Chain A
């Protein structure tokens, strides 16, 4: 039994979770420079959709995932149209405050609707248990999680590199003004990307329930982790987010396993060192 491999595996699965939660934010931040701290509120919404559909309406777990994706995406479009678009020209600080206000409201609303307890979720039996390979046991659910995240990463990268829409997104991230000048409707590209990113966060929120739990403070607690991934990975870089999420997931797990007395010390230390080395993030351009 090699504990190192177990820690690496769990850390990687955790990193994939962080990646799903943060990839939408990194692209929208890179494109519009809009600091959306309420990103995790959409993730939390996805989680609650899954819990409600499973426990109250008896849906199977996998059927709830598209529903949570759609719910988070729809909610984000609503917020973008009603509130966010008035603040694109304002300072980072104003954007931070508006969206942190939304976080506060969503946390209180979740506490009001669902209480402050951890939400129970009963995964189907075939997702429980572990697979033994060479004396190592790997939890099935975590392998499924890694699989989904890798598939989505592949789809995202391919979509961004190969499709026309992906080219428009890349153009808007690289230089918004020139993209606009070339006739790209940056506002619409942004709204669609925003919805996609929030939907992915909602999906991440659903997948996270079994690993980190879901309660009313989720939007607040994971905000910090998501921001770390985004700032370390570099704005607008999917590859950077992937690398940063993996690195932070593994170092967080390793920190908790090997130095439990320091708690989350290691993840912050890693972030500060990486940002001091490269202030714009590992793959950041600006």
Chain B
């Protein structure tokens, strides 16, 4: 961080332009996401789940990694998007893109409302408030079983073919392509935001809330805006999950999902967008492998991994890699 502020003083626009230039590693990474179509066709369903979870993790990174808002209830927005898409599809409008927009819109509206509460708190109170609001929503969804199906989950969701031609097949070709495309678009949005002056302001708020307010940055509106955007992206991710699996369960907005996504993000590395994606890939593949062996003890290994990451890799796996490999930015 220290190295790339020096040219910024000379020419602010050059700094933003340099930050938003695509690196070779990034291009290779996104090309590699196409590999499952050719080499791992049996795992396309898992791959689409990973893409969805990665988008969810990116949305959490926007508020946690950039604005410094710790949330233990982020699954609320994922679940809102999932249920919105599921309910509209059950009512007969299973058009995937419509469900996507609706999921994002519902989560965004609720997120905007919630952001007025969230922005006022910091530290432990913030963690407890986000946790409490997530649990309230989960309880509400459980009691409103006429709408959500309660504990049994929402049945009867039917997704129409994408663009009217691409059917969602059993092997997950369409599902993975669709989820990957949405992930990429969501990532582009997040990347654009974090490389803009707004993203820099968010980082400033994360580093020193009081000083940012003192230099005239509208800190509370900034946090509200970031929170709403993150809610929209999480809602879109939830809608994609509904459309590709054609079912919604209460688990989509439970505490477990909020905790899991936080773990993935920390594992990958906070505040670097790719951290969420890498964390989701590792976590989901590891869970898939371990739960084949011994489903009950999966959390033992995740717990050990968490302890090890916090003790030895404070900036996650990507942060550790950056320390080992000479990075392009600090070199130039």
Chain A interface (Cβ < 8 Å from any Cβ of B): 29, 35, 83, 86-87, 90, 92-94, 96-98, 100-109, 111-112, 116, 224, 227-228, 230-231, 235, 261-265, 268-269, 271-272, 275-276, 279-281
Chain B interface (Cβ < 8 Å from any Cβ of A): 64, 70, 117, 120-121, 123-125, 127-129, 131-133, 135-136, 139-140, 142-143, 255, 259, 262-263, 266, 270, 296-300, 302-307, 309-311, 314
Partner of A35, one of B124, B133, B297, B298: B124
Which residues on A sit within 8 Å (CB–CB) of B311?
83, 86, 98
The prevalent SS among residues of B at the interface is helix
Which residues on B sit within 8 Å (CB–CB) of A92?
70, 123-124, 127
Known A87-B310, A102-B307, A108-B297; judge A264-B128 contact (CB<8 A): no
The prevalent SS among residues of A at the interface is helix
Which residues on B sit within 8 Å (CB–CB) of A271?
128, 132
Q: Number of A-B pairs whose CB atoms are under 8 Å? A: 119
Bound-complex Cα distance A178 to B143 (A): 51
Partner of B307, one of A96, A98, A261: A98
Which residues on A sit within 8 Å (CB–CB) of B310?
87, 94, 97-98, 101
Give, as a whole number of angstroms, the nearest-CB distance from B258 to chain A.
Answer: 12
Nearest A residue to B120 via CB reads A279
Instruction: Indicate if the CB atoms of A101 and B303 lie closer than 8 Å.
Output: yes
Q: Which 6 A-B pairs have the closest CB atoms?
A: A104-B303, A101-B306, A108-B300, A105-B303, A101-B307, A104-B299
Partner of B139, one of A97, A264, A275: A264
Bound-complex Cα distance A263 to B139 (A): 7
Instruction: Indicate if the CB atoms of B131 and A109 lie closer than 8 Å.
Output: no
Which residues on B sit within 8 Å (CB–CB) of A275?
121, 125, 128-129, 132
Bound-complex Cα distance A271 to B72 (A): 15
Which residues on A sit within 8 Å (CB–CB) of B142?
263
Nearest A residue to B142 via CB reads A263
Instruction: Indicate if the CB atoms of A112 and B297 lie closer than 8 Å.
Output: yes
